[in-house]
Amino acid sequence: MLAVFGHLNPDTDAITAALVYARLLARQGLDAQAFRLGELNFETAFVLREAGVDAPALLPELPAGAAVALVDHNESAQSAPNLANLNVTRVVDHHKLGDLSTAQPPYLRFEPVGCTGTILLKLHREAGLSVEPLDARLMLSAILSDTLHFRSPTTTQDDRDAAAFLAPVAGIEDVEAYALAMFAAKSDLGDTPAEALLRMDYKVFPFGEPAQQWGIGVIETTNPAYVFGRQAELLAAMDQVKAQDSLSGVLLSVVDILNETNRTLVLSATEGKVLSEAFGVTVDGPVADLGGRISRKKQIVPTLEGYFAAQG
């Protein structure tokens, strides 16, 4: 059995890419099965509910040497805890290549596009397989999610073309309305505990040499007022996670999807200094205005990498 899974703190792309890639590999004769590495967020739960499909099971502890396929990630810090003992035979991803190595020649398919779903559509075409409506819906949802309905600077023409092809196959006539419903579901955070909000779309990055570990969470929402209403709780959760995980810094960016702005919570003077120096913004109080920098991958992490590299 080939276990197919996306990253920790799964988002819509991580979950749907595992489902779609496992289904594609099964159609090609492999015994592939999708798994997840954490709880669904509200957007993903909405997408799967609308699609009428069950969430993949939590990944069980796999025996050493088990064959696995990674989607939407490749770095060990974002993957199964025992990844080093597993046999990575396939990766489909749209992130930079991190610390992955393999024991045997793998299938790797990386493209600098906005979403793994966009690459998965190409894999269907290259395999000469038709796209089933369920897969079309899942890939389209991932593209809308990862690109914030084409608002993110990570969006490429390939993503737009893929979405345009997929919408009619998925039977989704009003893509705008569907995207808004996804974002509303994502924004309906209810009584989610503060630490869960922080960790919902959260990744740890090593910066500089010797590496400092920084945790960076993002909350993409159509309702930023709700998030800032819980500012004190969130700062307390950030402080706790920073100590607990021995991090050098913790950031939480609140991205207003519809207005395409990023206001980032500033935990301490450490984070404030880095934000003001790296991004050239004035940090005064617990919220830094990072303007239109809504993509962690394209607009936050590379700037911080460059900043810390220059400190070395």
Report which secondary-structure segment, H or E, holds 167.
Answer: helix 157-170
Residue 1 CB, nearest approach to its own copies (Å): 19
> Cβ distance 139 to 16 under 8 Å?
yes
How many other CB atoms are there within 10 angstroms of residue 46's CB atom?
Answer: 20
Q: Return phi, psi of residue 164, to 5°.
A: -65, -35
**Interface with its own copies, residue 96, by CB under 8 A:** yes
Residue whose CB is less far from its own copies, 85 or 282: 85
Sole binder of its own copies in the list 23, 36, 94, 203 (CB under 8 A): 94
**Interface with its own copies, residue 129, by CB under 8 A:** no
Tokens (6 digits) for 122: 């190409």
Residue whose CB is less far from its own copies, 288 or 304: 304
Residue 109 CB, nearest approach to its own copies (Å): 6
Stretch that binds its own copies, among 103-111, 190-198, 254-262, 270-278 (CB under 8 A): 103-111
Helix axes 116-126, 12-27, angle to 10 degrees: 10
**Interface with its own copies, residue 107, by CB under 8 A:** yes
Q: Return phi, psi of residue 49, to 5°.
A: -65, -45
3 state DSSP class of 77: helix
**Interface with its own copies, residue 111, by CB under 8 A:** yes
Residue whose CB is less far from its own copies, 72 or 135: 72
Residue 118 CB, nearest approach to its own copies (Å): 12
Stretch that binds its own copies, among 97-105, 180-188, 241-249, 257-265 (CB under 8 A): 97-105
Residue type, 18: A
Stretch that binds its own copies, among 1-9, 95-103, 174-182, 255-263 (CB under 8 A): 95-103
Using left for φ > 0, alpha for ψ between -120 and 50, and beta otherwise, residue 215 falls in: beta
How many other CB atoms are there within 10 angstroms of residue 275's CB atom?
Answer: 24
Q: Return phi, psi of residue 4, to 5°.
A: -115, 125
Residue whose CB is less far from its own copies, 104 or 244: 104
**Interface with its own copies, residue 206, by CB under 8 A:** no
**Interface with its own copies, residue 258, by CB under 8 A:** no
Residue whose CB is less far from its own copies, 133 or 206: 206
**Interface with its own copies, residue 165, by CB under 8 A:** no
Tell me, by CB under 8 A, how many residues bind its own copies: 26
Residue whose CB is less far from its own copies, 65 or 285: 65
Whole-number Å distance between alpha carbons of 217 and 296: 9
Tokens (6 digits) for 45: 């739960």
**Interface with its own copies, residue 305, by CB under 8 A:** yes
Whole-number Å distance between alpha carbons of 171 and 14: 22
**Interface with its own copies, residue 109, by CB under 8 A:** yes
**Interface with its own copies, residue 97, by CB under 8 A:** yes
Whole-number Å distance between alpha carbons of 75 and 54: 27
If you write DSSP's letter for every residue of 107-151 in order, what string do you get? EEEE--SS-HHHHHHHHHHHTT-PPPHHHHHHHHHHHHHHTTTTT
**Interface with its own copies, residue 312, by CB under 8 A:** no
Q: Considering only residues 281 through 300, tell me which ones interact with its own copies, judged by CB under 8 A.
A: 297
Binding residues for its own copies, per CB under 8 A? 93-113, 122, 126, 297, 302, 305
